[in-house]
Amino acid sequence: MTQSPLIAAHPITDSHCHLDFPDFDAERDAVIARALAAGVTRMVTICTKLQNEPAVRAIAERYAPVYYAAGVHPMSAADHPPVAVDDLVALAQHPKFVGIGETGLDYHYTADSKAIQQSSLRLHIAAARDTGLPLIIHARDADDDMARILAEEYRNGAYSCVMHCFSSSAELAKAALDLGFYLSMSGIAAFPKSSALRDIFAAAPLDRVLLETDSPYLAPPPHRGRRNEPAYTAHTAAVGAEVFGLDYADFAAATNANFDRLFWKAAA
């Protein structure tokens, strides 16, 4: 990736990627080197099945700029043993474990497991509450249930949260922001036809916005349709700066400060 010296000089964070996926096996060192060259000085790699946690943890231990989180993805909840809050709390003792999840609700392909997903989500929320670490939420085609459960659980006790790869409705965005949660901007926000999503971000408080790739998925232009990687966070950041009417440097600094506030264990 070729990046301008100006952009590379202003640190940003990829708050959600999947560096353990086989897409990166052949060149993980190079992928992380390219991220650093593009100004992406921190990455959070996400474990989506707890049996994979040792491999994800090993990546965070090997690379200084990489942190990790772990949980059970909603699309895997029906095929995974019920998550135990105590197990997540125990994992959170690792110095580079910085978040709970990803968890959430996905009714697009797995609506038949709604009840299991909802139970799993509530257990992850309990772990986030117990550890003080941010909850990492995946939401797809489940806006009403998601807003309801997040609010119900918040009334049972406060916790922090990011709506990862946010691409849902303005109503769910408002529900999350009203609870003090964060919205994470992925490459989807940079797609030409995503003007409605950009409008949702433009209406959000700047101090509640994060950046991510969700790599290897959802590469932003000019890499759309190819494998995504953390370096490409810079392309989404450039679009985000335009959305908020800011210089790249100011937007980079704001999103990095937001990351430090939410993911406090990885604060610079």
35 occurs within a structural domain: yes
pLDDT of residue 192: 96
102 occurs within a structural domain: yes
106 occurs within a structural domain: yes
241 occurs within a structural domain: yes
Q: Domain range holding 154?
A: 8-266
pLDDT of residue 9: 77
Least Cα distance to 82 among 111, 113, 109 occurs for 113
1 occurs within a structural domain: no
73 occurs within a structural domain: yes
For residue 108, say whether it is annotated as part of any ligand binding site. no
For residue 214, say whether it is annotated as part of any ligand binding site. yes
For residue 10, say whether it is annotated as part of any ligand binding site. no
For residue 102, say whether it is annotated as part of any ligand binding site. yes
For residue 94, say whether it is annotated as part of any ligand binding site. no
3 occurs within a structural domain: no
Q: Which CATH number belongs to the domain containing residue 139 in this structure?
A: 3.20.20.140
pLDDT of residue 2: 47
For residue 124, say whether it is annotated as part of any ligand binding site. no
Query: Is the pTM value of this prediction over 0.75?
Result: yes
pLDDT of residue 32: 98
pLDDT of residue 155: 97
Please count the structural domains in the chain: 1
Q: What is the mean pLDDT of each run of 10 residues along the chain (268 residues)?
A: 63 98 96 97 97 98 98 96 96 98 97 98 98 98 98 98 98 98 98 97 98 97 96 97 97 98 93
